[in-house]
Amino acid sequence: MKSRGLDVSTNVVLNYMSFFNEAFLTSAVGRYDIHGKKLLESTGKTYFGDVGLRNYNVGGEHQTDIEKVIENVVYHHLLHFGYTVTVGQLRAGEIDFVCTRPNQRIYVQVAWIINSDATSNREFGALQAISDAYLRHPHAALCQS
C-alpha cells in the first residue's frame, strides 16, 4: 500500500487481511521451520482464492509476475488433493510448499522457467538442503511449458 502512496497503519492492514481470510477471498499460509519441525509465529504468505481477483488487485503486467500466479494456482491444487500446506523455512532459503497428509510429507518448488544454473541451484538446492527430501521419488517430475 505504501508503494501506492497510501498511509495506512499496520493494524488496519491486519484487520482487512483477517476480513479477507474470513470471507475466503484470501488464505493465510503459515511458515514451517523444516529443520526444527515446528510452525513459526512469523508471517507467512497470502494466496488469493481467485486468481482473477489477484490479477485485478495487483494490476500491472502479469507477464512479470507469472511465477506468483502459478504459485497461487499450485497452492489451491495441493489443497484440492487434501494436503495441509505451509511455506517451508530453511536457514538459507525457502521451500515454496511443505505439504502434509497423514503419514506423508512432500516438498514442492514452483518455477516458471529454469534457464540458468543460478535458478536451478536456487530451486533444487533448497530441496537438497532438507534431510528427508526424496528427490528421486518415483512420482517426482519436472514439468516444462
- Decide: 90 and 130 in contact? Cβ < 8 Å: yes
Question: Could you tell me if 51 and 39 are in contact, meaning their C-beta atoms sit under 8 angstroms apart?
Answer: no
Which residue has 530441496 as its cell numbers? 127
Record the pTM. 0.75
Residues in the chain: 145
Spatial distance between the Cα atoms of 109 and 38, rounded to a whole number of angstroms: 20
CA 8 to chain CA centroid, nearest Å? 25
Encode pLDDT of 26-51 as tens digits.
888 888 776 556 565 666 788 888 88
Strand partners, 97: 108
